Structure 1
Amino acid sequence: MLLYNGQSILEEDLKLPVSNRAFQYNDGFFETVMVVDGKLRFWQDHLARMQEAAASLKLELPVYFTKAAFEQQLLQLAEQNQAVKYGRLKLKVWRAGAGLYTPEVKTVEWLATVQPTAAGTTESISIGICQSIKTIYSPLSHFKGPNAPIYVLAANEKKQTDHDDLLLLNPQGMVAELISSNIFWLLNGKLFTPALDTGCVNGIARRNMLRWCSIQSIKVREAYFTPERLREADAIFAANVTAIRSIKSIAGEPLRENDTFLKKLSLELGL
Structure 2
Amino acid sequence: MTNFNATILEDTTKLSIKNRGYSYGDALFETIKVLSGKVLFWEDHYFRLMASMRIMRMEIPMHYTMEYLEEQIQNTLTANTLQNASARVKLTVYRNEGGLYLPENNDVSFIISVQKTEEDLYQLNESFYEVDLFKDYYMSPSLLSTLKTNNKALNVIGSIYAKENNLNNCLVLNTNKHVIEALNGNVFLVKDNQIKTPPVTDGCLKGVMRKQLMDILKLLPDYELVEASISPFELQKADELFISNVIIGIQPITKYRKKAFNTTVAKMLLQKLNVKLRLG
TM-score, normalised by the number of residues in structure 2: 0.88
% identity of equivalent residues? 26
For residues 73-222 of structure 1, the aligned pairs below 5 Å read 73-84=72-83, 85-119=85-119, 121-124=123-126, 125-216=129-220, 219-222=224-227
CA displacement, residues 109-150 of structure 1 (integer Å, 9 cap, x when unaligned):
111111112326521322122132222222211121243111
Q: Considering only aligned residues, what root-mean-square deviation do their CA atoms show, in Å?
A: 2.1
Once the two structures are TM-superposed, the CA of residue 268 in structure 1 deviates from its matched residue by 4.4
Residues 184, 123 of structure 1: alpha-carbon distance in 2 compared, 3 angstrom cutoff: same
| 2:51 matched residue in structure 1 | 52
* Contact 1:86 1:118 survives alignment (8 Å): yes
CA displacement, residues 136-166 of structure 1 (integer Å, 9 cap, x when unaligned):
2222111212431110010010111222111
How far apart, in 2, do the equivalents of 1:162 and 1:15 lie? 35
SS of residue matched to 2:254: strand
How far apart, in 1, do the equivalents of 2:151 and 2:180 lie? 14
For residues 225-264 of structure 1, the aligned pairs below 5 Å read 225-242=230-247, 243-258=249-264, 260-264=267-271
How far apart, in 2, do the equivalents of 1:131 and 1:110 lie? 34
Once the two structures are TM-superposed, the CA of residue 193 in structure 1 deviates from its matched residue by 0.3
* Contact 1:135 1:198 survives alignment (8 Å): no
CA displacement, residues 177-223 of structure 1 (integer Å, 9 cap, x when unaligned):
11101111222322210121322111110111222233446532211
How far apart, in 2, do the equivalents of 1:62 and 1:268 lie? 36
* Contact 1:54 1:61 survives alignment (8 Å): yes
In structure 2, the gaps of 5 or more residues are none
Once the two structures are TM-superposed, the CA of residue 168 in structure 1 deviates from its matched residue by 1.2
* Contact 2:87 2:116 survives alignment (8 Å): yes
What code does the residue aligned with 1:25 have? Y
SS of residue matched to 1:30: strand
How far apart, in 2, do the equivalents of 1:214 and 1:239 lie? 17
- Greater shift, 173-182 or 77-86, is seen at 77-86
* Contact 1:141 1:147 survives alignment (8 Å): no
How far apart, in 2, do the equivalents of 1:251 and 1:62 lie? 49
What code does the residue aligned with 2:28 have? F
Once the two structures are TM-superposed, the CA of residue 264 in structure 1 deviates from its matched residue by 3.3
| 2:34 matched residue in structure 1 | 35
How far apart, in 1, do the equivalents of 2:108 and 2:71 lie? 20
Residues 54, 114 of structure 1: alpha-carbon distance in 2 compared, 3 angstrom cutoff: same
The size of the alignment, in residue pairs, is 270
* Contact 2:27 2:149 survives alignment (8 Å): yes
Residues 207, 49 of structure 1: alpha-carbon distance in 2 compared, 3 angstrom cutoff: same
Once the two structures are TM-superposed, the CA of residue 5 in structure 1 deviates from its matched residue by 1.0
Residues 263, 44 of structure 1: alpha-carbon distance in 2 compared, 3 angstrom cutoff: closer
TM-score, normalised by the number of residues in structure 1: 0.91
Once the two structures are TM-superposed, the CA of residue 103 in structure 1 deviates from its matched residue by 1.6
Residues 97, 263 of structure 1: alpha-carbon distance in 2 compared, 3 angstrom cutoff: closer
Residues 64, 215 of structure 1: alpha-carbon distance in 2 compared, 3 angstrom cutoff: farther
Residues 16, 268 of structure 1: alpha-carbon distance in 2 compared, 3 angstrom cutoff: same
What code does the residue aligned with 2:97 have? G
In structure 1, the gaps of 5 or more residues are none
How far apart, in 2, do the equivalents of 1:228 and 1:270 lie? 35
* Contact 1:33 1:41 survives alignment (8 Å): yes
| 1:11 matched residue in structure 2 | 11
What code does the residue aligned with 1:101 have? Y
What code does the residue aligned with 1:147 have? N
- Greater shift, 126-135 or 36-45, is seen at 126-135
SS of residue matched to 1:211: helix
